[in-house]
Amino acid sequence: MSLVKNWRFWLGLAISAVCLWLALHSVPLAELPHLMAGMNLLWLAPILILQLLAVITRAKRWVIVLSKEDRLAESFWAQGVGYLFTNVLPLRMGEPARVIVMSERCQLPVVQVAASAIVERLLDVATIVFVLVLLLPWMQIPALVTRAGMTFGAFILLACVMLVLAVKLSDRVEILLRAVCRRFPRLPQEALIARWHELVNGLAPLTRWKTALRIIGWSLLTWACSIAIDWCVILAFQPRGTAIEAAFMVVALSLAVTVPSSPGFIGVFQLVGQQALVLPFGGKYDSAIALAITLMAHIVYYFITTVLGILGLWRLGESFVHLWQAIRPGPRAQVRTSS
């Protein structure tokens, strides 16, 4: 199935278009260039440094999850490739792209690397929910964000319990799989068992408390960098900006990008970032300056991650076309399940 025939592609475009219109319709467009030109450029240097640091901390966390800490450089560039694919393609294609690159570089099965990516995403959402809880005493959080945070928190708790049980009970699950394969002889028993072992290996870090503490620590550092980035962007436009406002903006954006959208989250990013400043902090931010802040945050993120992705393809000797052929939806997509 090509992308243009995928209903999720068109749904994402429609949502992005509506969100972009909502973000722009109440803002005098002639005012935006003046606001952008009035940005304090001295904040660009720390923003760029922090954005690179955020990618490095993510790369470090991933190699810890994979037990491949000698592959930090490959992890860094694979992250960049993932960002590039997410920025230019719909349906979050960056996730399978970075998994394939890391699988090839570390000579690990794709299923195991994909499982490690799932662990990463669970940690991301758990960290965001944790930040949301920390914000509760300091600000009046909109009910929609609170409900979303509670929903995601419950989902994360349930997912973590299920994944830990999957690892702890892996032997029993293997016995069950073998029994099912005996009942249905046409099933590829050895292949299914091999994929199950790869999945368990990818999820195993959740059950090793020392490793779990390390990856939680790197998750906290990663999201601290993200909050610092948005705080610097806010300060470039509003000298009285606070870390509380930046943290809430990060929380709102992180929850919002789970919604289907166009490549690079265009539209959704602008509307949610804008409203994350206007709704709870309307006395300090109007729609125009909030949109200018959000636009700059997105531009910096998009530019740096896209450049990192292009450099990553070059450094790793990968081809955009090759990876696209491997990850695109459809029967011709070919992804190796083991190395």
pLDDT of residue 333: 47
Averaged pLDDT, 72-79:
97
pLDDT of residue 173: 93
pLDDT of residue 337: 43
pLDDT of residue 201: 93
Is it the case that residue 316 has pLDDT exceeding 90? Answer: yes
Please choose, from the candidates 238, 161, 190, 219, the residue with its C-alpha nearest in 3D space to the C-alpha of residue 338. Answer: 190
pLDDT of residue 330: 59
Please choose, from the candidates 77, 13, 19, the residue with its C-alpha nearest in 3D space to the C-alpha of residue 253. Answer: 19
pLDDT of residue 6: 77
For residue range 137-154, list pLDDT tens digits in order: 999 999 889 899 989 889
Nearest-angstrom CA–CA distance, 38 and 41: 9
Q: Sorting pLDDT into bands at 50, 70 and 90, what band is 10?
A: confident
Is it the case that residue 192 has pLDDT exceeding 70? Answer: yes
Nearest-angstrom CA–CA distance, 12 and 130: 28
Highest mean predicted confidence (pLDDT) among 55-69, 136-150, 181-195, 318-332 = 55-69
Averaged pLDDT, 162-187:
92
pLDDT of residue 282: 83
What percent of the chain stands above pLDDT 70?
Answer: 96
Residue-range domain boundaries for the chain: 3-327
Is it the case that residue 339 has pLDDT exceeding 60? Answer: no
What burial class does residue 190 get, using C-beta atoms within 10 Å of its C-beta: 0-12 exposed, 13-18 middle, 19+ buried? Answer: exposed
For residue range 38-70, list pLDDT tens digits in order: 999 999 999 999 999 999 999 999 999 999 999
> Which tokens sit at 209?
């408390």
pLDDT of residue 2: 65
pLDDT of residue 239: 95
Q: Sorting pLDDT into bands at 50, 70 and 90, what band is 162?
A: very high
What percent of the chain stands above pLDDT 90?
Answer: 77
Is it the case that residue 240 has pLDDT exceeding 80? Answer: yes
Averaged pLDDT, 97-113:
95
Averaged pLDDT, 85-89:
94
Averaged pLDDT, 65-94:
94
For residue range 257-312, list pLDDT tens digits in order: 887 778 889 999 999 999 999 999 988 999 999 999 999 999 999 999 999 999 99
Averaged pLDDT, 4-14:
82
User: Going by C-beta distance under 8 Å and a sequence separation of 6 or more, which residues neighbour residue 159?
Assistant: 122
CA dihedral 19, 24, 25, 30 (to 10 degrees): -170
**Average pLDDT in the chain:** 91
For residue range 17-26, list pLDDT tens digits in order: 999 999 999 8
User: Going by C-beta distance under 8 Å and a sequence separation of 6 or more, which residues neighbour residue 320?
Assistant: 84, 313
Nearest-angstrom CA–CA distance, 267 and 13: 9
Is it the case that residue 335 has pLDDT exceeding 90? Answer: no
* Proportion of the chain in helix, strand, coil states, percent, rounded to 5: 80, 0, 20
Is it the case that residue 336 has pLDDT exceeding 60? Answer: no
Please choose, from the candidates 71, 79, 82, the residue with its C-alpha nearest in 3D space to the C-alpha of residue 108. Answer: 71
